[in-house]
Amino acid sequence: MSKRKVTFYLVNDCGGEWEDAWNEPVIAFDNQEDAKKCALVREQRQSLYNSGFGYRDYSGSFITEIDAVIDDSIFMHRELRNE
């Protein structure tokens, strides 16, 4: 099967500071616009969780652009794939 290089936009949540700092990947999108929308919504929602309880010490969401190599067979019907 042939392979192709694609770019994904990974939405990450982060928080804490110093030795308690954390960074957690959440979801990846194939376009930057959807990733930005998701990060914005996550910031609003997680900030609500964070207020009052200090939920995981959330400080924000950000986007990381990553390259991936995928096999074209993932676009085929499952019955046609070699699994």
When pLDDT is cut at 50, 70 and 90, the band that residue 22 belongs to is confident
Distance (Å) of CA 21 to CA 16, 57, 62, 77: 4, 9, 15, 42
Whether the per-residue pLDDT at 32 is higher than 60: the answer is yes
Three-state secondary-structure class, residue 16: coil
Q: State the Cα–Cα distance between residues 64 and 27, nearest whole angstrom.
A: 11
pTM listed for this prediction: 0.73
Give yes or no for a contact between 29 and 38, defined as CB atoms under 8 angstroms apart.
yes
Q: Quick one: tokens of 19?
A: 């030795």
Q: State the Cα–Cα distance between residues 5 and 69, nearest whole angstrom.
A: 4
- Top pLDDT among 8 and 52 is at 8
